[in-house]
Amino acid sequence: MDQVPSSTNQRGSFGSNIGFLLSAIGSAVGLGNIWGFPYKMGKCGGFTFLLIYLALAVFVGFAIMMGELALGRKTGLGPVNAYKAISKKFKWVGWLAVAGGFFVLTFYMVLGGYCIYYVIINLIGIFGGMPDSSSFGAMITNRWLSIGITLLFFVICWAINRGGVAGGIEKFNKIGMPALFVMLVIIIIKALTMPHAAEGLKFMFVPGYATKVTEFGQFVESTPSLLSILATAGGQMFFSLSLGMSAMITYGSYLSKKENLPKNSVIIVFADTLIAILAGVAVIPAAVANGIAQGLSVSEIKLNGPGLLFSTLQDVFHNMGALGGVFGVIFYVLVLIAAISSAISVIEGVAVTFIDRASAKGREPSRTRAITLTCVVLFAFSFLVAVDGLGSNNIAPWQMLGMSEEAIRNWNDCWLDFFDLIAEGILMPLGAMLMSCMIGWELKPKSFEDEIKSGSNGGAMGFWSFCIKFVCPVVMFFIVLVQVSDFFGLGWF
Ligand code: PHE
């Protein structure tokens, strides 16, 4: 089995199609599914949101997913070199994807560290003294702890990536993804059998229910406009599918030519959406049921962002009594697996740039060196996010620059928001918009026909060409506008 890699297969490749699929689904299923999707669905029209989300996933998500996989597989290269190989004019677009992925990771790695900590405290809690929501504040304000657990998350990811594509990434996902699914089912059963769980389901699925609920003291009276639902669903879909952050181009470059790209793309998009809905059915009813049992109204329960995952749900486990620790461990291991499988896909997408570069220069690339370099540089940025503790430790960008309190906007409230603006707000959607323009208008979809027909009957060609040419550039342009408006509080939508 263990053969000395020649310079051509030094990059590695997936051992099987199922290994590829589980790894790509692993990349897509992450924190975004667990804390973003259910809340946004509840707040943005329930089923209306779901329908719009599905339509966007079919016409935009699928097309960009297949575009990224095809680009990677056609060139056999990571983003920077793939764009370079294919179009002189667009060669810098690859850097947008690498930088976008990099900046998402700066805070994702810290959140991954938080997951490790929660597995540990719940494990200890099984033997008495179950932690509650106060652990969150204590954790984020403890700088050394935050740095330590972030570092631990880095070491885990580094070790997996260093193990190679088949020997590290694929192996982890082949065990991790089925395990995640089983754990999710256990948590769903537990959540839905709690008294008042139905209120949580209403929050998610009944149109208009959640918008009647006050949020942070603000009463949201009107149901959201169709445009704002479209905007929220678009941004969520894009992030959730790991598009525009170099992961899918890179995974595509490790895929055998005999595999079916359209079919694989459909499966990835479908699985990601399914897991997002299932995660919602586990998390929201549990949080709402526990809150009601504590005498809170639905509006008083924190159902969004890190607060949902690390304080609201920890209270749920705290109040479950003796078994709380067991469910807590199951749940946070599940979230941890989701975070690792996403993080390693983007670390790979960034590091492959160095591997491909060495090959192009005729040198023998070293995977270990590329992964280590990526992790070390990344850690320097994550360090800021970890020490900042989601803004609780007063070292946010505006504070360091001595800006006034009034100058605070959403985007620089804390380092996490600042890096998120750069990545999710600008680099990623812009990169994907340019990619669809490049494929649709400069190279023409026809030049990808061979690639798409390799392993499939090519039946998806017509649909894909239409989407990548007309639908994707327009929708992606819209998403860029929405993200910018959102982050800067401009209220355009
Ligand atoms: N798809 C991931 C999610 O939903 C997004 C992501 C992927 C973030 C990889 C970071 C790294 O959470």
Tens of pLDDT, residue by residue over 158-202, are: 999 999 999 999 999 999 999 999 999 999 999 999 999 999 998
3-state SS class at 243: coil
Between the CA atoms of 395, 397, 398 and 402, what dihedral angle is there, to the nearest 10 degrees? Answer: 70
Query: How far are the Cα atoms of 62, 294, 305 from residue 267, in angstroms, in the given order?
Result: 10, 41, 27
Domain ranges (residues) in the chain? 8-488
3-state SS class at 319: coil
Q: What is the pLDDT at residue 303? A: 85
User: Average pLDDT for residues 378-399, to the nearest whole number?
Assistant: 86
* Atom of ligand 1 lying closest to residue 33 CA: 4
**8-488 topology per CATH:** Hydantoin permease (1.10.4160)
If one residue of 31, 337, 381 were mutated to test the ligand 1 pocket, choosing by the most ligand atoms within 8 A of its CB, it would be 31
| Percent of the chain residues past pLDDT 90, beyond the cut | 71
Higher pLDDT, 115 or 227: 115
* 4, pLDDT greater than 50: no
* 218, pLDDT greater than 80: no
Q: Which two tokens stand for residue 276?
A: 């997002």
Q: What is the pLDDT at residue 398? A: 67
If one residue of 23, 27, 106, 249 were mutated to test the ligand 1 pocket, choosing by the most ligand atoms within 8 A of its CB, it would be 27
User: Average pLDDT for residues 324-348, to the nearest whole number?
Assistant: 97
Residue 408 zone, left/alpha/beta (φ > 0; ψ -120 to 50; rest): beta
Beta carbon of 445 within 6 Å of any ligand 1 atom: no
3-state SS class at 132: coil
Q: What is the pLDDT at residue 46? A: 84
- Cα(323) to centroid of ligand 1, in Å? 30
User: Average pLDDT for residues 113-124, to the nearest whole number?
Assistant: 97
Beta carbon of 30 within 6 Å of any ligand 1 atom: yes
Q: Within 13 Å of residue 278, how many CA atoms lie on the same side as its CB?
A: 20
Q: Which two tokens stand for residue 351?
A: 């590091």
User: Average pLDDT for residues 213-220, to the nearest whole number?
Assistant: 48
* CA nearest to 140, candidates 409, 397, 385: 385
Beta carbon of 346 within 6 Å of any ligand 1 atom: yes
If one residue of 34, 68, 236, 239 were mutated to test the ligand 1 pocket, choosing by the most ligand atoms within 8 A of its CB, it would be 239
d(CA 60, CA 21): 20
* 445, pLDDT greater than 60: yes
Q: What is the pLDDT at residue 213? A: 61
Q: What is the pLDDT at residue 444? A: 94
- Cα(30) to centroid of ligand 1, in Å? 5
Is the pTM higher than 0.85? The answer reads yes
Residue position matching structure tokens 């910018």: 484
